[in-house]
Structure formats: C-alpha cells, structure tokens
Amino acid sequence: MNGPMWNILDYIAVLLALTAGFAYANHYLLRLPRNSGLLVIALAVSLGLRLIEHAFPSVGLATMLRDNLARANFGPLLLNGFLGFLLFAGALEVDLKELLERKWTILALSTVGVLLSSFAVAAGMYGIFRLVGIDVPLKYCLVFGALISPTDPVSVLGVLRRVHVPSRLQAIIGGESLFNDGIGIVLFTIFLHHATTAGDAGPTVLGVFLDFLREAGGGALLGVAGGGLALAAMRGIDEYNIELMISLALVAGTFGLAQTIDVSGPVAVVVAGLLIGSIGVRYAVSGTTQDYLKKFWSLTDELLNSFLFLLIGLEFAAIDIRWSFVVAAGLAIPVSVAARGLSITVASLPLNLGAPRKLRGITLLTWSGLRGGISVALALSLPLGPYRAPLLAACYGVVIFTMIGQGLSLGRVAARLYPSQDSDTPGPPGS
C-alpha cells in the first residue's frame, strides 16, 4: 500500500472490500444494526493497530494506516462526491405530503433549531477548549457547531418503526433530519469561509443571514429547476435504464452546477430528490421504473452510509490523541446533547403549546439526534492547520457516542416513551 502507485480508486476498492467483510462479520457475530456494527468493528481494528504499534513500535501498522488515509484524502471526495448522492437518496424516501402537513415544525427545527444548536455548541466548546488549554478561536468553534448539528436519520427511522413510534413523529424526524443536513452544510460553508479568510473580523448576524439566504434560496431554486427538467425528461420516455441515468445525471449535474454558481448543492439535491420521489414516481414514471429507482437509490444509500461508517472507525487510527483532546471530546458529548435538546425545545415548543405529550416528543427528538457520516465528512474536509486535530477529535467523540450509546439504546428509550398500546394516540410536537 505504498506511495504513488496507489490512486483514489485503489483506496476505494480496498475500503469497499473491508466494508463487505466487516458487514458479513457483523451479521454473523455481533448482529448489531449494520452501521453501528461496522463502526464497532472498525474501531476495534483501529484500537488493535494502535495497541500493537505501542507494544511493537517497529511494526508500524497504525502508522501505515494513517499515512494511507492521509494520502487518500477522502474529505473532498466525501464532501463533493458522496454527499450529494446520500442526500438525494434520503430525499426520495420522504413523502412530500406528510412533509407539508408538518411543514412549520420541520422548518423551525431545520432552520432555527440548527442555528441555535450551532451557536450553543460553539459557545460550549469555546469554554471547554479554554478549560483544557487548547487555543481554538471562536470562529472555528462556530465551524464545529455547524458540522456537528446535522443529524443522521438512517438508523433512527428503522428503530422507531419497529417500536411503533407514531408515524407523525417519524415524519418530523425524517423531514427535519433531511433539511438540517442541507442547512448545517450551508452554515458550515459560511463559517469556514469567515474562519479561513485572512483579516476577516468574523461573521455578523446580518452577514450570515444574507449568505444563508443566497446559498439556501439559490440552491432551492436550482433544485426546482433541475428536478423539473428531469421530471419532464422522464415523463417523455418509458425506459427504466435511461430514467436511472437521468436521476444520476440530475444529482451530479445539479451538485456540480451549484458549486459553480456558488449556491448550496446539498439543498439543491434535496429539493430535486423531493420532486422526483413525491411527484415523479407517481406521475412521470411507470411502476417498473419506480421499483428500479427505489431499489437502486436504496442500495446506493446503504452502500455509501456503510462506507462512511467504516471510514469513521478506521480514521480513529489517524486521530492525534492527546489527553487534552480526549477530555475535550468527552465534554463535547453532553454539550452536543444539551444543545440539541435546547434547540428542539426553543424551535418547536411555540408551535406546539397545545399538543398533548409534547415533552415525550421533545425527549425522543433529542435522543434520536444521532450524528453520523455527514458530520465526519465535513470534519475531514477541514483545512490542515492547528485547529483541525482538536476539532476532529471532538467530532469523533460525539459521533461515536451518538451512534453507539444513543443508537443502541434508542429502541428501549422509544419503547418506554411510546408503549405499543398508545402508539396511535396523539403525542409529539407537530402531531
């Protein structure tokens, strides 16, 4: 695995082989949810390599893994490649009708909620980094707040369906998570630009709002235009292979054009995915095409998420571990959970003051706020510098805790909050 003979395709091939092998091992040995199982096995491998290197420094297995991960430089590929396909696949699964029925709660959670969470996490981490003796400026704490605020619904919704959580709450969790990904990435881009611009005094509230409006609004308009064009093309043909090609071209073309004209690619592909998933499959394509589209994009979603969670575990071997980083990462966990709870309460409660059992809904929304591949993809895209290592360590601490601690306990928490006998009764915010 040495040097210039390896290119990005070689690294992807190796990681895909590991993903399949670890998924197979999890299926027969651990029997955990796939993403959690991949993460646990990859973490165990990374930890094992570190221990071997500590005992036998001359072996250098962990160093070899770190060097190859650094050479592969997956950050740009994740941010500019995988991300668009992941978000589009997620948007296809969302029912636009259910989304519109709960639009105000979802809108509040994915905009006001993400903003509040980003600022709350930034304030908390600024204090924590100072406490442990790490000099991270507030600008970079805002970057961390934005990258850690988006949530990952992939594992969550499967668990909630099994324990009979009301469909209304499932729709809110799915819709909020879909849009808070795009909004969080917009904020991350804005904050990172200000953090890395020499001589910049930092973002103002008005400046952030205007940048946000331009990127998110422009991305939404581009998504409507691209999705509408793809719908027209699909409606004029009945050949599922070509229609699959159109959907792939829609994601790649929309995301690429968004970057060229400086609007939000993630928001654009989410909007395009909603149009194709909720309108296209009903009015523009045949039943055969609909079946192929859903299966193809479901497999794409599973594969890319599995790849990401494997990479999260392996990257543990590449993190610079110092005691100050470990303490900061440990303290980042309660900060992120508290910020999630605060942002959900403030954003959703005014819209649901009369809703029965609203505290149950707020509790479940807080505990189901798992951070996953998108947070890691954003963290890996951070530029090299003195602040990258502590932010990466804090990100990994939160992601690993939420995917293993919250993810594996979510079913029990949901079952206690929503026993099966009253799963169909009114409950959560927005219901």
The predicted-structure confidence for 53-71, as pLDDT tens digits, reads as follows 888 888 777 778 778 877 7
Residues near 346 by beta carbon (within 8 Å), at least 6 away in sequence: 112, 113, 116
Average pLDDT score over residue span 392-420? 87
- The pLDDT score that the predictor gives to residue 110 is 87
pLDDT tens-digit map of 122-147: 999 999 999 999 999 999 999 999 99
- Tell me the domains of the chain and their CATH numbers: 79-422 (1.20.1530.20)
pLDDT tens-digit map of 176-230: 887 888 888 888 988 998 888 866 666 666 777 788 788 888 999 999 999 999 9
Q: Is the pLDDT of residue 427 over 50?
A: no
Instruction: Say how far apart CA 196 and CA 30 lie, in whole Å.
Output: 43
Instruction: Say which residue the tokens 């978000």 belong to.
Output: 87
- The pLDDT score that the predictor gives to residue 240 is 84
The pTM is what? 0.82
Q: Is the pLDDT of residue 337 over 70?
A: yes
Q: How far is CA 50 from CA 55, 243, 397, in A?
A: 9, 47, 17
Residues near 242 by beta carbon (within 8 Å), at least 6 away in sequence: none
